Amino acid sequence: MMGIIVQNLLNGVSFGIILFLLASGLSISLGLMGILNLAHGALYMVGGYVGWMLAVRSGWNFWLAVLGAGLASGLLGLVIERVFLRYLYKKRNEQVLLTFGLVYILTNLSIWIWGAEPRTPFTAPFLSGSFNVSGWQYPTARIAIIMIGVGLAAGLWLLQDRTRLGAIVRAGMENKEMATGLGINMGAVFTAVFFVASFLAGFAGVIGAQLLGVYPDLSLDVLLLALVVVVVGGMGNVRGTLLGSMIIGLIHSFGVALFPELAMFTIYLVMVIILLARPAGLLGKKV
């Protein structure tokens, strides 16, 4: 019994960290920039495929592959922002149409380039295998995921709350004209933020691949999960995204253990209940 509880605690937290990684990019672009980027999941998927191509097919070092994937998605995001999104900043409707179209394009291009066969989860050689935890074995990779996630969360929080860049971004969100008047190049800031959000998506794609693998429908599946996290936790801040992802991850794990056949339904039910109490999410701005 104790074993089941501890295992699912670890399951929930490690799955939650993956959700955090994939949702933080969306939370940034949605909460900080107000851009509804439906292609976020597609950027995750592209990162996953690039990581797979580098780590599995070409035998690169896993961490280099993670970096490579992040850069690939980051650059892709950069191109998307510069060529398309830049002209659609206040136009929510057109953003929806554009990013939806990009999902179709990126998904189909990925199938064309890498094939549609689902990819088995892969990880760094030294992370495969398991820890011995009080009599049963727990995958090392999941522990590593937790550590990476916590580290990233700390880094993002620092960046957002404690650095000048973070302050600039937050100021720019509140009042773009003022910030520009202070001599800050908001166009460059926006592009940089979107690059970071996209990099995070690609990064998450490979870290997440240790658990989830890579397959074309990931672009939509991940987008849905990210939206759920953002709905529950609130968007635009690291704490909210972290809280939301932990809740969803733990509900999934314990939900499956307790009510195996209602797994996804339980998640959506909890999501709706939380929304009834706090429509902006648990740590979102009060609406």
Partner 1 sequence: MKASNADVAGSSRRRTALCCFPYLTGGILFILIPLILPPYLQSLMSKVLILAIFGMSLDILWGYSGLLSLGHAVYFGIAGYTCGIMTVRFGIESFWTTAACGVASSVLVAAFFGIMALRVSGIYFLLVTFALGQLVFSAVTKWDKVTGGSDGLVGIPSPSLGVNWFSWSPIQFYFLVFIAFGICFFLLYRFVNSPLGLALQGIRDNESRMRSLGFNTWLFRYIGFLVAGLFAGVAGVLLPYQDGVMAPGQVGVMTSGLAALICIIGGIGTLFGPVVGALVIVFAEFIASMYTPERWPLILGVIFVAAAMYARGGIGGYLYRVWRRAYMRSGSPND
Partner 2 sequence: MKQGRITGLGWLICLFLVIIAMPSTSAFAAPASQGKPIKIGVLVPMTGASAETGPKMKNAITLRLEEAKWQVAGRPIELISQDEGGGDPAFAMAAAKKMVEMDQVDIMIGPMNTPMTMAVAPYLARQQIVTLTLAPVAGDAKMLSNLFKGWIFTTGGEGGQFCFPFGEFAYNDMKFRTITTVSQDHAAGKRFMGTFVEGFKSKGGTVVQQQWVPYGTADMGPYLSVLKDGDALALWLIPIDIRRFLKQYDERGLFKKMPIVIPRAGVIDEVALKELGDLTLGLVAEQNYVNLLDTQVNKKFVAGYKSKYGVPPDFFCATAYQAASVALAGFEATKGDATRDKLRQAIVSLKLETPTGNVSFTPSGLAILDTYFVEVKKKGGEYIFEPIKKRPATRPLGE
What is the contact mask toward partner 1 in residues 111 to 150, using x (rule: CB under 8 A)?
Answer: -x--------------------------------------
Give the DSSP letter of residue 281: -
State which of residues 146, 165, 250, 275 lies at the interface with partner 1 (CB under 8 A): 275
What is the contact mask toward partner 2 in residues 108 to 147, using x (rule: CB under 8 A)?
Answer: x--x---xxxxxxxx-----xxx-----xxxxxxx-----
Query: Beta strand 136-139 with 130-133: parallel, antiparallel or unpaired?
Result: antiparallel
Closer by beta carbon to partner 2, 126 or else 136: 136
Q: Tell me the two tokens of residue 55.
A: 């780590």
**CA 43/CA 25 separation, integer angstroms:** 10
For residue 217, report the phi and psi dihedrals to the nearest 5 degrees: -65, -5
State which of residues 145, 204, 212, 271 lies at the interface with partner 2 (CB under 8 A): 212
Residues 33-92 that bind partner 2 (CB under 8 A): 56, 82-84, 86-87
174 binding partner 1? (CB under 8 A): no
- Nearest distance from residue 175's CB to partner 2, in Å? 23
- Nearest distance from residue 129's CB to partner 2, in Å? 7
Helices 263-277 and 238-258, packing angle to 10 deg: 140
State which of residues 79, 97, 133, 178 lies at the interface with partner 1 (CB under 8 A): 97
Q: Residue 201 in contact with residue 44, Cβ under 8 Å?
A: yes
Q: Tell me the two tokens of residue 287.
A: 């609406």
Query: 148: left (phi > 0), else alpha (psi -120 to 50), else beta?
Result: alpha
State which of residues 6, 7, 9, 34 lies at the interface with partner 1 (CB under 8 A): 34
- Binding range to partner 1, per CB under 8 A, among 102-110, 138-146, 206-214, 247-255: 102-110
Q: Tell me the two tokens of residue 56.
A: 């599995």
Distances, alpha carbon 259 to alpha carbons 156, 250, 269, in Å: 35, 13, 13
103 binding partner 2? (CB under 8 A): no
Residue 259: contacted member of partner 2, partner 1, none (CB under 5 to 8 Å, by partner type)? none
